[in-house]
Structure 1
Amino acid sequence: MGLLDRGVEIKTPEQIDAMRRAGLVVGRTLELLRGSVRAGMTTGELDAIAEDSIRSAGAVPSFLGYHGFTGTICASVNDEVVHGIPGERVLAEGDLVSIDCGAIVDGWHGDAAITVAIGEVSEELTRLMEVTEESMWRGIAAARLGGRVTDISAAIESYVRRRGRYGILEDYTGHGIGSQMHQPPNVPNFGKRGRGPKLVEGLALAVEPMITLGTKETDTLEDEWTVVTTDGSWAAHFEHTFTLTPQGAWVLTALDGGRAKLEELGVPYGGRD
């Protein structure tokens, strides 16, 4: 492990393999939550399922206790964009819930997020989720060894702007990840190509667009965690942790390593599994 460009952590192949193990725990937990969520359950019940899944895999929840956070997952509903604290809130038909999940294996982190519709939702909300998730993949697909971090940012913004009048959060970004959950560099979801730290082998990044139906402006609730849109517009959030190998991109939190989606986008798959 080395440091490069103002604290950017560079991992060995063995350390990336440990991150892959953490990423698989996160990916499997999110798929379990996707299949479990339903109207009438609380976000706290989702949290309990997540903690059991992570600990049963021999991993440790990244979020629980992080700066005092009380959940294993972040569960953000409707106009809550990110960092919602799981608890007594009951999910209802037509809600959107964004679920952010992290796990630690042998000291190495994985971090990913999905947004799930509870039952039937409007075409507008379905489209919001599709645009957000696809923009994440377009960002990952734009990453190349020797490129720059904002190549990812520009690809995300360009895709979202072509799809409609959406709000792209600017105060919250993706991030480096490794021996800590949040590390340099920040990975904005907007910007011009060719800026920021160089994309090199051993760098791992969490790419996470947060997109709204309205404003990009947010407030934080009195719980000092939950981030909501100032205009009440609903939001979606998707995230994956990925790295680059000489062969291509490897999405550490995707169960297939991202192979299917990267191939669909014409991007070489760089995974070792």
Structure 2
Amino acid sequence: MAFTTSLQSRLMSSFLGERVIQSAMNPLQPLHRSGCPSPKDVSKQVPRALSNLADILFNKRNQGSLQTDKRKRLQKGKVSPRRPVPSHVPKPPYVDSRQLPGISSGPEVHDAKGIECMRAAGKLAAEVLSFAGTLVKPGITTDEIDQAVHQMIIDNGAYPSPLGYGGFPKSVCTSVNECICHGIPDSRPLEDGDIINIDVTVYLNVSFLVHSKYMFSQIHSYYFWKVLSTDFFQSSLRSTFIIQGYHGDTSATFFCGNVDEDAKKLVEVTHDCLQKAISICRPGVEYSRIGKTIHDHAAKFKLGVVRQFVGHGIGRVFHSDPVILHYRNNERGRMLLGQTFTIEPMLTMGSINPVLWSDDWTAVTEDGSLSAQFEHTLLITENGAEIMTQC
């Protein structure tokens, strides 16, 4: 899940709270909050500051090919009650707190035990996302997708990380068509020709004792038994461990029925942007190269890169340093061995300016143009980056 940058270099996330970051790059327009997600509302946002000819043209890209007149703007459906989680499933600390967690300072760097736990969380998140993708078809509601995702996560002894984070009411984010991110699952059926991003995050946590003759586990999870069977844990039979919870975060954009060629190209390029960014990751590489790689590739196809939502560190906490910007920037900082973070570019066919619905979560493009996103959780290794959220 992404968090949000805004004016005066403030970093704010709908999932994170606020913090101040040091940046001299391109002041960003804050999110406009729309009281009603109707077409007349999405044009109210004040244009962002423009610094050069490229910026002047940026929000007018592809306007001739936009097909919003043929596609109805996204409308709110009915949101069902929050789904329960069994009491035996360990929950992240923020679930029982009414306060929105802030971003944790410092990177998530893991030892061997932590890496194995991250692999387990990432593997489960990937399996859940793959399953969710098979459900996408005309007529299914995003609430039905949420129900299926919720059940699969808790059946594996894990907690759906978005549920209860800062008041988010559902277990997964479902962002349809012009929704950039953080769409709340509801009663709207998917329609033929829609595209939908499904963003899955799981929190996997088990407390167990390891002795020379037996092991006891509170959670009977296939993914954790895979962790327990590794050489690292088998070599530690006489020790007692409390394994903390770890988050695995991933998303993908799926086609619903017959999707037009422009939408297919948007999704394809967004996926390629993520893969190209992953390919340059390794210890010592500047984080800013991620944004340049994504921005350069998107520009070749005249697609916009959303700036307000960014990647983040992840592990024992949902969101931490570093901040991963997906556009060209001069931010400082270099990747560390054993570090985990997400890359999650969001591209648009038109305006890159988001409008926030009155639910304080759903962010849509101001002109109604399509948006696509892909995301992986990565581990920085000696030879590059390991994708932790793939099947």
The TM-score normalised by the length of structure 1 is 0.88
Does residue 216 in structure 1 map to residue 315 in structure 2? no
Q: 1:80 aligns with which of 179, 191, 196?
A: 179
Amino acid at match of 1:75: T
Amino acid at match of 2:186: G
**How far apart, CA to CA, are the structure 1 residues paired with 2:390 and 2:289?**
21
Where does structure 2 lack aligned partners over 5 or more consecutive residues? Answer: 1-103, 206-244
Q: How does 1:1-273 map to 2 (within 5 A)?
A: 7-106=106-205, 107-162=245-300, 164-192=301-329, 195-255=331-391
Aligned-partner SS, 1:7: strand
CA deviations 1:118-176 (Å, max 9, x no partner) are 011111000000000110011111112111111211111111112x2111100101111
How far does residue 247 in structure 1 lie from its aligned partner after superposition?
Answer: 3.2
Aligned-partner SS, 1:22: helix
How far does residue 248 in structure 1 lie from its aligned partner after superposition?
Answer: 2.7
CA deviations 1:164-196 (Å, max 9, x no partner) are 211110010111111111111110111247x42
Aligned-partner SS, 2:309: coil
How far does residue 12 in structure 1 lie from its aligned partner after superposition?
Answer: 1.4
Amino acid at match of 2:325: P
Matched with 2:30 is: none
Work out which of the two has the higher radius of gyration on C-alpha atoms and give 1 or 2: 2
CA deviations 1:210-268 (Å, max 9, x no partner) are 0010011011001110000001101101100001111331100011xxxxxxxxxxxxx
Matched with 1:269 is: none
Contact residue 183 and residue 363 of structure 2 kept, 8 A: yes
Identity of aligned residues (%): 35
Higher helix share: 1
Aligned-partner SS, 2:108: strand
Aligned-partner SS, 1:222: coil
Contact residue 266 and residue 347 of structure 2 kept, 8 A: yes
Amino acid at match of 1:104: Y
Contact residue 220 and residue 226 of structure 1 kept, 8 A: yes
Moved more, 6-15 or 183-192: 6-15
Aligned-partner SS, 1:189: coil
- Runs ≥4 in structure 1, deviation > 2 angstroms? none
**How far apart, CA to CA, are the structure 1 residues paired with 2:302 and 2:123?**
34
Question: Number of matched residues?
Answer: 249
Contact residue 282 and residue 381 of structure 2 kept, 8 A: no
Aligned-partner SS, 1:110: strand
Contact residue 166 and residue 215 of structure 1 kept, 8 A: no
How far does residue 6 in structure 1 lie from its aligned partner after superposition?
Answer: 5.2
Aligned CA-pair RMSD: 1.4
How far does residue 85 in structure 1 lie from its aligned partner after superposition?
Answer: 0.4
Matched with 1:270 is: none
**How far apart, CA to CA, are the structure 1 residues paired with 2:111 and 2:328?**
29
Choose between structure 1 and 2 for higher RCO, CA contacts under 8 A separated by at least 6 residues: 2
The TM-score normalised by the length of structure 2 is 0.62
**How far apart, CA to CA, are the structure 1 residues paired with 2:333 and 2:108?**
11
Where does structure 1 lack aligned partners over 5 or more consecutive residues? Answer: 256-273
CA deviations 1:87-126 (Å, max 9, x no partner) are 1111111111111010011210000001111011111000
Contact residue 76 and residue 99 of structure 1 kept, 8 A: yes
**How far apart, CA to CA, are the structure 2 residues paired with 1:9 and 1:100?**
21
Contact residue 279 and residue 384 of structure 2 kept, 8 A: no
**How far apart, CA to CA, are the structure 2 residues paired with 1:75 and 1:6?**
28
Aligned-partner SS, 2:198: strand
Contact residue 145 and residue 199 of structure 1 kept, 8 A: yes
How far does residue 9 in structure 1 lie from its aligned partner after superposition?
Answer: 2.6
Amino acid at match of 2:271: E
Contact residue 305 and residue 348 of structure 2 kept, 8 A: yes
